[in-house]
Amino acid sequence: MPLGQLLTSIALVLILPMVVGAVTRWGIIRTRGQRALTQAKPLFGLATMGSMLVTVGVIFFMKGRLLLSHWTLLIPLLAATLIYLAIILPLITWILKGYFDGIPSSLEDAAHAIRTMVVRGAPLIGATAAYGLALALRPDASDERIEEAARVLRATRPTAVNLAWALERVRRVIAALPVAERAAAAFAEAARICEEDVAQCRAIGVHGAKLIGEKAGAGRRGWWLPWR
């Protein structure tokens, strides 16, 4: 029956994207952890929406003659798709806006994030300070501006070792450069600090997980490790 086939198509359009979103969440949690799940939320909506559009396209391709001969059956299918898009697109826009609004865009933003403990943990504080210094140099990369920015950032957490270390590392890299090249070099060095910290933290997890797996017993070892 055409109606039965249409209902099946609508079920696929609505259910398949949910399955894709659920599998995506499970994969991210298993490989990257719960924190990565929060950061990747906008991708779920895009993946789900994409799978919905692909499903609709496949249905049109496979059931084209049926749909053309019973064009009124298209109305519920298109309505379901449009309702979903009307809900998910504003949600994705809102999530992305909140995500990008939370990214520091100035020296003051970076200092506020460190001072109020928006960012926590020594490596992340150091990386934020490095980027804060780089942001401060975009309008003015003079020696005086470097000193002023470093002073502001150090004052946020005077006892933070990684903060002072990151600031000094960036300053050493840019000190001998022409003023016009300092901002770009500071951003590049801040990025290297972040990449190094990520690699070090992941190495700690990999080696620690191996030890925990060995202690847990050979029979159960490693089944929960995504890289095994």
Pairs from 171-175 (Cβ < 8 Å, separation ≥ 24): 171/133, 171/146, 174/137, 174/141, 174/146
Please, which pLDDT band fits residue 66 given cuts at 50, 70 and 90?
Answer: low
Please, which pLDDT band fits residue 53 given cuts at 50, 70 and 90?
Answer: low
The Cα 84–Cα 151 span in angstroms is 50
pTM: 0.58
pLDDT of 228 reads 46
pLDDT of 1 reads 42
Q: Report whether pLDDT(115) > 90.
A: yes
pLDDT of 227 reads 46
Percentage above 90 pLDDT, the chain = 40
pLDDT of 104 reads 76
Mean pLDDT for the stretch of residues 66-89:
64
Helix axes 74-101, 2-32, angle to 10 degrees: 20
pLDDT of 212 reads 86
Q: pLDDT digit string (tens) for 5-47?
A: 555 555 555 666 666 666 666 666 566 555 555 555 555 556 6
Contacts of 206 (CB under 8 A, 6+ apart): 227
The Cα 47–Cα 25 span in angstroms is 11
The Cα 18–Cα 42 span in angstroms is 15
The Cα 61–Cα 152 span in angstroms is 61
107-216 carries CATH number 1.20.120.420: yes
The Cα 18–Cα 55 span in angstroms is 12
- Under a CB-based contact definition with an 8 Å cutoff, are residues 137 and 180 in contact? no
Q: Report whether pLDDT(118) > 60.
A: yes
Q: Report whether pLDDT(88) > 90.
A: no
User: Alpha-carbon torsion 88, 91, 93, 99, what sign?
Assistant: negative
Please, which pLDDT band fits residue 181 given cuts at 50, 70 and 90?
Answer: very high
The Cα 121–Cα 129 span in angstroms is 12
Q: Report whether pLDDT(89) > 90.
A: no
- Under a CB-based contact definition with an 8 Å cutoff, are residues 114 and 163 in contact? yes
Cα angle 122-28-125, degrees, rounded to a multiple of 5: 10
Which two three-digit tokens encode residue 18? 């949910």
The Cα 152–Cα 166 span in angstroms is 14
Mean pLDDT for the stretch of residues 194-218:
86
Percentage above 70 pLDDT, the chain = 53
